[in-house]
Structure formats: C-alpha cells, structure tokens
Amino acid sequence: MSEKLQKVLANLGLGSRRGIEVWIKEGRVRVNGKTASLGDRVDAEDRIEVDDKPIRQQKVRHRHLLYNKPNNEICSRKDPEGRKSVYDRLPGLKKQRWISVGRLDYTTTGLLLFTTDGELANRLMRPSSNVDREYAVRVLGDVTVKKLQNMREGVLLEDGMAKFTDIQRAQEDDDSANQWYYVAMMEGRNREVRRLWESQGLTVSRLKRVRFGSFFIPSSVKVGQYIDLKSRDIKILYEMAGLTSVG
C-alpha cells in the first residue's frame, strides 16, 4: 500500500512532514533514481535517497521524551550566537533524530516533549489536534477584570486572533507588583502567551509551561532533566494525536 513520500520519511524519524516537504521542493529527495515531487507516493519496494544517501524503509522503534527545559536554552539545533540548545542535553541517536513537539522561547521554562516520530510530532502541533497547553505566568502591571476579559474573548495580534481558554489567579498578594496566573490555550504560536499579556499593557517577567494535554512534569524530573515516556504514556500521546498505531 503506497503512502505519501513525506509521511513515509517522517515516520522513519528523519524530520517533520513540513520540513521534509521543503527537502522535496529543494530537490534533495529521489525515488528510484528520479528527483521526487510533492504528491509522490511510495511503497516498500521503492528506493528512496535523501542527499544521495539511501534510506532503508524498515519499521522503526520510536522513542519519546519529556524534558524539563531550563531558562536560557534555545529550541533550535544550532545557534549563530553559540547559545545552549535543548538538544545538547538529549541522548544520542543512531539513524534517527529528536523532533520537538512545539517550541518554547529562550527564556521560557518547563515542559517540552520530544519524539523520533515525525508524523506524531506534526499531528500534535496542528491546531486541529485541540491539545491545550497550560502556563504559569508572573505578570507585572495593573491586571484588571477588563483586561482578563479581553484575553478570554480574544485579541487581534499581528498574526491573527488569540485568546486564553482559561485564566486563573494563582495566589492573592495585593502588596506585590508581580502577580502569578495560570493560563491555558489551544495553540502555541511564537511568543503568543507573552504577546497576549503585552497587548493589555502588561509585562511577563516569568513564564513556565506546566502542562501539555494530559502531561505534567513529574516532581522527580528536575530542571534540565528528561525521562523516557512509559508505554502507557506513549499510548496516550498517540491518542492525543488521533493516531491508533504506536511506532
């Protein structure tokens, strides 16, 4: 049974479907000796090459990690400024690579999921997956009922409408200029949490992702540490993505 070329390569852990689509457009992928095109379908008998290197179409056992991201780490593999990357702390792989399920800003801490299954990562990052994210936010400024209402109902940012599906005050401390809130949202565009607060004239002084779907950071996983997900959690991860088979 044939499948789309980018899906096959993503399932082998070579990258995300979007990233592989770029490779195909750039002419880096060949099928049976011919340069591939978007929309090509392949089966187990086809010969695939990426950057002139043959790709073996064999069933891959995927790995999945939960990582507690520290402050001041980027979510890119390389950085011209030489800053530390989240990938620097992850275990090495052979013939696979880690793919982050979404990203966190340089100064944002907390929960990050990693997988070697590109199709899984792609599904989880789609807005249609309806996976909510929860953040702990320390805010500086005058947080009024009206401002909270605005962020619940939706604010037009430069890249479209954005809103929190829930906002809860974390603690009552009227004497402090900084106030903690828990907020939830269904997507994770670039700096979206910070930009929503900033749209109301408020400043986010600390930001931590505490939940992704049904996943929380276990107390045993300290900042800068990771754990391999257990089979039960892996099953939940695939169900969140709307996939029935576990790689």
Sign of CA dihedral 92, 5, 247, 55: negative
Residue 165 counted as domain residue: yes
pLDDT attached to residue 1:
65
How would residue 145 be classed by pLDDT, with cut points 50, 70 and 90?
very high
Q: At what angle do helices 17-25 and 118-125 cross, to 10 degrees?
A: 110
147-170 average pLDDT score: 94
Q: Are residues 124 and 220 in the same domain?
A: yes
How would residue 236 be classed by pLDDT, with cut points 50, 70 and 90?
very high
Q: Are residues 139 and 169 in the same domain?
A: yes
Q: Are residues 201 and 235 in the same domain?
A: no
Q: Are residues 169 and 233 in the same domain?
A: no
Query: Looking at the predicted structure, is the pLDDT value of residue 60 above 90?
Result: no
Q: At what angle do helices 118-125 and 231-240 cross, to 10 degrees?
A: 50
Percent residues over pLDDT 90 in the chain: 67
Q: Across-strand partners of 106?
A: none
Q: Are residues 123 and 218 in the same domain?
A: yes
Helices and strands counted in the chain (H then E):
6, 17
Residues 16-53 as b/e (b if ≥16 CB within 10 A, e otherwise) read bbebbbebbeeeebbbeeeebeeebebeeebebbbeee
Q: Are residues 151 and 203 in the same domain?
A: yes
Percent residues over pLDDT 70 in the chain: 95
Q: Which residue blocks in 103-230 are alpha helix, DSSP H?
A: 118-125, 145-153, 192-198
Residue 208 counted as domain residue: yes
Residue 245 counted as domain residue: no
Q: Please report the DSSP string for 155-178 in residue order.
A: EEETTEEE--SEEEE----TT-SE
How would residue 215 be classed by pLDDT, with cut points 50, 70 and 90?
very high
Q: Are residues 163 and 124 in the same domain?
A: no
pLDDT attached to residue 87:
95
Cβ(14)–Cβ(50) below 8 Å: yes
Residue 222 counted as domain residue: yes
pLDDT attached to residue 175:
61
Residue 247 counted as domain residue: no
pTM > 0.85: yes or no: no
Q: Are residues 72 and 112 in the same domain?
A: yes
Q: Mean pLDDT for the chain?
A: 90
pLDDT attached to residue 152:
96
Query: Smallest Cα–Cα separation from 209: which of 134, 119, 101, 124?
Result: 134
pLDDT attached to residue 14:
83
Query: Looking at the predicted structure, is the pLDDT value of residue 49 above 80?
Result: yes
Residues classed as catalytic: 105
Q: Are residues 83 and 203 in the same domain?
A: no
For 44, the domain range is: 3-55
How would residue 172 be classed by pLDDT, with cut points 50, 70 and 90?
low
| Total tally of structural domains belonging to the chain | 3
In sequence order, what are the residues at sequence separation of 6 or more whose Cβ sits closer than 8 angstroms to the Cβ of residue 171?
179, 180
